Amino acid sequence: MAVATLTPKTVNYEGVEAYSDTADYTAATAADGFQFVNDGKTIVNIINADDGELTATVDNPQPCDFGGTAVHDVEIAIPAADDYLVGPFPKHRFNDENGKVTIRLTANSDVTDISACAYKLE
């Protein structure tokens, strides 16, 4: 799997420019997902500029904390021409062995219309 790495922007009381600052968004282009270093206080804005629905699947490599030992990935359906904020992602559930969260993408068409930006709450 080829994933694009997101570098989270820090958000604090002073605020941070968000949606209109498209230079901070990483396009999916040839990648089929995103990953980022997760501190447990990071959220991701995923923009689906395509004309088809997008499924963003957050990998859950750790046993689910809702009981049992099963691993439950989280699927988010993002409608065409829409954007969603997802997260935060508790480290004990979503971090892989490298401390990263991976979000895989499944689009009904080209993923080049998908982009994302991560925001780390300070």
Among 15-29, 68-82, 90-104, the minimum mean pLDDT is found in: 15-29
End-to-end alpha carbon distance in the chain? 31
The pLDDT, as a whole number, for residue 31 is: 67
| Structure confidence at residue 23 (pLDDT) | 76
CA distance 69 to 1: 25
Q: What's the CA gap between 81 and 96, in Å, rounded?
A: 30
Domain ranges of the chain: 4-121
Query: Using one digit for the tens of pLDDT, what is the confidence trace for 2-20?
Result: 788 999 988 877 777 666 6
**Highest CATH level, class, for 4-121:** mainly beta
